[in-house]
Structure 1
Amino acid sequence: MAVQAGHLATMSHHFLIAHWRRLLTAAAWLPLLYLTHRLEHWTFKAMLALTTLLSLWAWMRDWRRYRTIAGTPTSRIASAAQGYVELFGRGRHAGQPVYSPLTGLPCLWYRVERLGKTRQGQLIELGKPARRGQHYQLQHQGYSWLKQRSQSDAPFLLEDGSGSALIDPAHAEIITSRYSEHVQEGYRYGEWLLLEHDQLYTLGELASLRASEQAPALRAAVAARLAEWKLDPTALLARYDRDGNGEIDAVEWEAVRADAEREVLAERRQQTLEPARHTLRRPGDGRPFLIANQPPERLAKRHRHWAWLQLLLALGALIALLWLSLNPPHPAPAPTEFETQAPDDE
C-alpha cells in the first residue's frame, strides 16, 4: 500500500507540473463562488469577464493544437515535402550521447529541476541563468523555496526506415513519459528524459539541403581554390611554369584558373549524387514545434478534452456575466424620516 501511495503521489505531482497552466486557467472561476457576496457588483463582473477571456484563449490554444496534431499527415523523411511536417520514428544519437546530470544515464535529451526549502532568504534573483536554465528563489512563511532548472539542447537524429533527420530541440515543446523523482540532501529532484531508441512523434519545419546547395557561388568557390593553391607556391610553379622562368605569367595563370574551375565543377557534380541532409527545426510562423515519446492519438485526445473543458468554463462565466448584467442588484431603500429620527429620551 505504501508503494502504491508513493506511486500515486509521484503521478499526481507529475500531472500538476505538466498541466499547471491549464489547471490555473480552469480553476480561475472557483474563487468567484466564494467572493460572490464579498465583492462589489462591478468587481465580480470584471472577474467573470476576465475568466471568460482566459478560458476562451486557452480553448483556442488547445483546439488549435488538437487540429494540428489530428490534421497533419505523417510523412516519410526521404519523401517529405519541405515545410511543416509530422514525422514518426526512433531517436538516435547524432554523435556522443548526452548524460543526465542527476542520474548519469545516457540520453537524447534531459530536463532536471531541483526544489528545496531553507529557513533564510528573500525574493531575489540568483544571477543570470545559464543557457536553457532557470533559477529563482521564493520566500513563503519564513521559508525560502529554491528552484533550479536545466536542460540539454544537443541535437539528435530521428530515423524512420527511409532516412534520418537531425532534430534541434532548442525552443521545442517536449513531452515525455519518462519522469522520475529523487530526494538527495534535502532537495527534491525531478528528471525528464528522452532515451535512444524511443519512439518519437514530432511536428516541425523540415529543411532538406544537399551539400551542393549549401556551397558558395561558383566564382567564390574558384577564388577560394586559387587562394588555397597559392599557399604552396613551389607546387604551383612546378605544375604551371611552362617556360621555366620562375614566374607564372598571364597565359599560365589562365590555365591555373581553368583547372581550378574544372576541379570545383567536378566536385559539385559528385555532391549532387549525395543524399540530402534533413533538419527538423522550429517553424518561423509560430506553429507548434513538438517532440514527444507518446502516440499522436493520445496527444490529440488530451488537447481535445482540455479544449472542451475550457470552452464549457468560458460559456459558464459568460452566462453568469450576462445574468448579472440583466439582473443588477437592487439598491437598498433609503431610510424614512421616521427611521432616521433618534428616539426621545424618557
Structure 2
Amino acid sequence: MRALLEYGWGTLLLYLLLLLMYWRLGSAPLLPFVATACLGGMLLWAWFYRHYRHVADTPTATTRAAAQGYTECYGAAAAPGGKPLLTPYGKMRCLWYHAECQYQGRDHRHRQRESHRSDDAFRLLDKRGEVVVLPDGALVDSRHVQRWREGDYCYTERWIAADDPLYVLGELHSASNRPQRQDYRDDLQLTLNQWKDDPRTLLRRFDSNGDGQLSAEEWEQARQAAHAQVQDMHRELAAAPLGSQLQRPADGRPFIISWRSPHDTARRLRRLAWCHAGLATLAAVQLVKLLLH
C-alpha cells in the first residue's frame, strides 16, 4: 500500500486498467469488472480517508515543543553529516531516494525489475531546532522525480534533496542525555582504570611526598579528582539538548513524509479519497442495474 501515497493520482489508473481488461476480453460478463471496481474504490477511499483524518487531526508542532508520541513537524530537510547520499542510477545528491529499473525488452532471461530504497536518517530543521527522521517504513511523497530510458531499460528515481520543504507525521521519541547512577559508577571506574594504566602520570599528579608510591591519603585525593572529572562530564551531558527522532509508529498509524505543507498534504489526501469514493459510487450504481436485469 506504500505506493498508493507515493504515486498518488496514479492509483486512479486502476479503473482504466479494469476498463482495458474488459475491452480486451469483450465477451466476458461485465458484472465481475464492475464489482471489482466498486470494492476496490471503497477500499481505496477508506485507505486515503484514514490517512487524511490523521493528517488533518494532528496539530503541527515545533521540533522543540513537540510532545512525545504521535505528532507532526514541518520545516526543511537537512543532511545528517558524513558521506553524501547519491541515487543509484542518476547519481543525484539527496537525503532519501526510491529508484526503479524496469527491463522492457523481449529477452525474458533478463531481470524484469529491480528497486532500491534508502533508509538512512536525515534531519528536519525549523526555526526552533531540529529532529532526526528515520524514514524506514514511511509513505514518502517526494518533490523530485526523474524518468529516462536507456536502451531496453526504463529508469525512475524519486528523491528528497537538502533544503526541500519537509513535512513528517510519525511517532516522536526523545532520548534523555541525563546519565543514570550506574552510568556514573561505570565512568568513575573507567577513569580510575585509565589512570592506573599510566602510573607515571598518576604519580606525577598525586605523589605529593615524592616517595614513588601513592599512600592511602594520596590515593583518596586521586579518587576525589576522578569524581570531580566525571561529575563535570555528566553535567555537560545533562545540559545538552535532547536527541529526538521521528519514526514509524509502533501501533500501525500512518507514517508520512512529504515535501508539501500540512494543509496541502491533507487536501491532497482528501481529494484522492473522495475521487475514489465517487468512482466506487458510480460502479455501485452500475452494479445494482446489472443485478436488477
Root mean square deviation, CA, Å? 3.9
1:76 maps to 2:52: no
1:186 aligns with 2:152: yes
Structure with higher RCO (Cα < 8 A, 6+ apart): 2
Q: 51-60 or 228-237: which moved more? A: 51-60
TM alignment of 1:151-190, pairs within 5 A? 151-190=117-156
Q: Which residue does 1:115 correspond to in 2?
A: 102
Q: For the Cα contact (< 8 Å) 1:201–1:292, is it kept in 2?
A: yes
Q: 2:260 aligns with which of 283, 290, 294?
A: 294
Secondary structure of 1:217's aligned partner: helix
Shift of 1:320: 7.7
Whether the 8 Å contact between 1:26 and 1:310 is mirrored in structure 2 is: no
Change (3 A) 1:292 1:149: same
* 1:22-33 mapped onto 2 (5 Å cutoff): 22-23=11-12
| Alpha carbons 2:6, 2:142 under 8 Å: kept | no
TM-score, normalised with respect to structure 1: 0.68
Structure 1 distance, partners of 2:122, 2:182, is 27
| Residues 22, 28 of structure 2: 8 Å contact kept | no
- Rounded to whole Å, the distance in 1 between the matches of 2:16 and 2:59 is 34
**CA distance in structure 2 between the aligned counterparts of 1:268 and 1:112, rounded to whole angstroms:** 44
Measure how far apart 1:109 and its partner are. 2.1
Corresponding residue SS for 2:77: strand
Alignment-derived partner of residue 85 in structure 1: 71
The letter for the 2-side match of 1:62 is F
> Does the Cα contact within 8 Å between 2:102 and 2:155 map onto a contact in 1?
yes
Could you say which residue in structure 1 is the equivalent of 2:50? 64
- Tell me, what secondary structure is at the counterpart of 2:131? strand
Assess, with a 3 A threshold, how the Cα gap between structure 1 residues 51 and 249 changes in structure 2: closer, same or farther.
farther
Structure 2 residue aligned with 1:140: none
2:178 to 212, 226, 229: 212
SS at match of 1:227: helix
Q: 1:28 to 1:315 in 2, by over 3 A?
A: farther
2:49 is aligned with what amino acid?
A: W
Larger radius of gyration: 1
TM-fit CA distance, 1:22: 3.7
- Alignment CA distance shift 1:199-1:213 (3 Å): farther
Q: Which amino acid aligns with 1:113?
A: E
Separation of aligned partners in 2, 1:81 and 1:311 = 35
Alpha-carbon shift at residue 195 of structure 1 (Å): 1.7
Give, as a single letter, the amino acid of the residue that structure 2 aligns with 1:76.
T
- Is residue 264 of structure 1 aligned with residue 230 of structure 2? yes
Matches within 5 A, 1:235-246: 235-242=201-208, 244=210, 246=212
Aligned match of 2:190: 224
Q: Percent identity?
A: 32
Matched, 1:98 2:64: no
Q: Please say if residues 52 and 317 of structure 1, whose CA atoms lie closer than 8 Å, have aligned partners that are also in contact.
A: yes
Structure 1 equivalent of residue 274 of structure 2: 308
In structure 1, distance between residues paired with 2:102 and 2:181? 48
Q: What code does the residue aligned with 1:265 have?
A: Q
Q: Which residue of 1 aligns with 2:240?
A: 274
Q: CA deviation at 1:115?
A: 1.4
CA distance in 2, matches of 1:185, 1:240: 75
- Are 1:284 and 2:250 matched, yes or no? yes
- Structure 1 residues 161-196: Cα deviation after superposition (integer angstroms, max 9, x where no partner): 111222222222211231121222332211212222
> Structure 1 CA distance, aligned partners of 2:190 and 2:107?
62
Partner Cα separation in structure 1 for residue 39 and residue 65 of structure 2: 42
- The DSSP-based 3-state class of the residue aligned with 2:239 is coil
User: Tell me, which stretches of 5 or more residues in structure 1 are unaligned?
Assistant: 1-13, 125-136, 138-145, 330-346
* Matched-pair contact (CA < 8 Å) for 2:141–2:258: yes
